Every structure is written in structure tokens, then in C-alpha cells.
Amino acid sequence: MMDSSSGGKLEDRNWDAQRPLYEVKANLFKGLSHPVRVRVLELLCAQPETSVSELLEDTGLEASHLSQHLSVLRRHHLVVAERRGSLVFYRIAFPQVADFLLVARHLLTEVLQQNQQQLMSTIELPDVPLAHTQ
């Protein structure tokens, strides 16, 4: 059996199946742990599929950097690739990926609103006198 860093597809799935669910979930979050990968997923959620050349244009990344991020997304089963001639097209692997990103956006919006409310409430507090140094 190959470890997850070896790139084996079936072996990775079998290896993950032997791990506790919380570890598998943590690996999923590793796949989402870079802003570029989140942006790529958002772009892929907006269309049924997107070519690598479109992703390069939309992200402004160098091909090698995009390739590395797409590899991570594939390894964590978030996207799938399909080669057609000389072109490679990507799409999200499961519709729940789009749902997950939307839930994350709603959660972050609520957190930011709560933080803004807390910040605004500090404006109403009386000033604290500064300590005098002698």
C-alpha cells in the first residue's frame, strides 16, 4: 500500500478509509488551506468545467504554480480533470464543494458582522484615563 504522498489514487482512498473520520476531514481542510485553491474552487463552481488555460488567465498564476495547486485539489478529491486532446478541463468533484464554500462564506459574514458590532460597542465606552508617569 502506498502512502498519501506517493500519488497513488486507489491506494490513497484505501489508506484514508483506515483512518478516523476526523483525520480524513482534517486532510480535506488541508486541501482548502491555501487562498489560491479556494479561488480555483470558486472559479470552478461558477461553471460546469473550466480549462487550465482559463484558470491561468483568471488566477494570473504561472502554469507550474497552478499545476501544484490543482494537484493538491485532485489529491484531496475536490476536483477532477479530463484531458481532451491537448487541453485539460477541470470541474468540482462533488456538488457539495460549492455548497461548502457557500456555507463558509455565510459563516465568515456572520463572524465579521459580530466583530463589527463588538467594535462599534467599544466606541460607546467611556475613555480610560491614561496613567501618569513621574
H helices present in 5-87, as ranges = 9-17, 21-31, 35-45, 52-59, 63-75
DSSP string, 69-90: HHHHHHHTTSEEEEEETTEEEE
Give the model confidence (pLDDT) of 20-41 as tens digits. 999 989 989 999 999 999 999 9
Structure-derived torsion over alpha carbons of residues 100, 108, 40, 31, reported in degrees to the nearest 10: -60
Global pTM value: 0.74
Confidence of residue 4 (pLDDT cuts 50, 70, 90): very low
* Closest C-alpha among 98, 81, 90, 85 to residue 32: 98
Give me the mean pLDDT over the 89-114 stretch: 96
Is the pLDDT confidence value at 93 over 50? yes
